[in-house]
Structure 1
Amino acid sequence: MKYAVRFYTKTGNTKRLAEAIAEELGIEALPLSAPITEAVDILFLGNSYYAFTIDPEVRSFIASLSKDKVGKIVNFGSAALLNSTWKKVKAEAEKVGIPMDEKEFHCKGEFKMLHKGKPDANDLRAAREFAASYK
């Protein structure tokens, strides 16, 4: 299996999750500005809600993908208030013909005074365990 980890973050929370996932897979977590240049079986895509939707950068990144380069997308992320971005990411992935895995990883993320210290060590361990389930 060949993997890639890409992420979008404004607060650094999703980057921390991306790095934990990538460490488990023995690869590097990269921001969305790093294109997928080689075919991968699984793209772990980290993102969160911003203003009640996924960021336009996440939409643009998914639109740049092709099904000959990405086998499927596995969604992960953190958010202070809302939960999963899975449905929003799936809608964008469908436009380019890339399937979404049914599973995802999500945890609370610190934002201002909410969820201080999240994601914490337990969340990062859970993210690594989630990634290990794909090995």
Structure 2
Amino acid sequence: MKNVIIYASMTGHSKKIAQAISEKLGIEAFNIKDNPKIEGYDMGIFVSGIYSGECKPELIEFAKKLTPANIKSALLVTSSMKEMTPEKLKEALIANQIEVMKDEYTCKGGFLVMGISHPNKQEIDEAVDFVRNHLYQTV
């Protein structure tokens, strides 16, 4: 299975999570700021913080341009002050015929002084384990 990590980071937390998954599982990670060319992947692992109830708008816009020729399915990993689901991201992927996995991983996020120690090492390790377990279950 050919997998890719696609992330958007405002505070650096999502980048930290994406890089940990990349390093520990050997999956290439792309920051959407770099306008990556995503083509021919089985699974796209989307990593983002949740801000005002949704992922970064740039990630949603990026997802709206994807098709099954880019990625066939998506797995979501998010961090948030409250446990929330990135509905607009899901809708964009599903509208383009990309299967979104039912399971998601959300860890506590930090913003300004609130939740400043999150995501912590344990939460990042849990995100890595979540992706690892999901990929091994779907093989």
| Greater relative CO (CA pairs within 8 A, separation 6+) | 1
In the alignment, structure 1 segments of 5+ residues that lack a partner are: none
Do 2:7 and 2:14's aligned partners in 1 also have CA atoms closer than 8 Å?
yes
Query: What is residue 11 of structure 2 aligned with on the other side?
Result: 11
Do 2:20 and 2:128's aligned partners in 1 also have CA atoms closer than 8 Å?
yes
The 1-side partners of 2:120 and 2:61 are apart by 30
Q: Which runs of 4+ in 1 moved over 3 A?
A: none
Report the residue type matching 1:31 in the other structure: N
Q: Which range moved further: 123-132 or 85-94?
A: 85-94
In the alignment, structure 2 segments of 5+ residues that lack a partner are: none
Percent identity, aligned pairs only, is 26
Q: Deviations along 1:78-111, whole A, 9 cap, x unmatched?
A: 112x323343221111221111001111101121
Do 1:54 and 1:85's aligned partners in 2 also have CA atoms closer than 8 Å?
no
CA drift of 1:54 comes to 2.7
1:117 equivalent in alignment to 2:121: no
Do 1:24 and 1:131's aligned partners in 2 also have CA atoms closer than 8 Å?
no
The 2-side partners of 1:65 and 1:39 are apart by 11
Q: Deviations along 1:47-101, whole A, 9 cap, x unmatched?
A: 2222333322012110121112211010111112x32334322111122111100
Compared with structure 1, are the counterparts of its residues 128 and 52 closer, same or farther at alpha carbon in structure 2 (3 Å cutoff)? closer
The alignment covers a number of residue pairs equal to 134
Query: What is residue 20 of structure 1 aligned with on the other side?
Result: 20
The 2-side partners of 1:53 and 1:39 are apart by 27
CA RMSD of aligned residues (A): 1.6
Report the residue type matching 1:123 in the other structure: E
Q: Deviations along 1:19-50, whole A, 9 cap, x unmatched?
A: 12212320232201342433111100012222
The 2-side partners of 1:100 and 1:17 are apart by 20
CA drift of 1:117 comes to 1.4
3-state DSSP class of the match of 1:52?
Answer: coil
Q: Which range moved further: 45-54 or 112-121?
A: 45-54
Do 1:86 and 1:104's aligned partners in 2 also have CA atoms closer than 8 Å?
no
The 2-side partners of 1:126 and 1:26 are apart by 16
Do 1:2 and 1:41's aligned partners in 2 also have CA atoms closer than 8 Å?
yes
Query: What is residue 131 of structure 1 aligned with on the other side?
Result: 131
The 1-side partners of 2:54 and 2:115 are apart by 20
Task: Tell me the TM-score normalised to structure 2 length.
Answer: 0.87
3-state DSSP class of the match of 2:45?
Answer: strand
3-state DSSP class of the match of 2:111?
Answer: coil
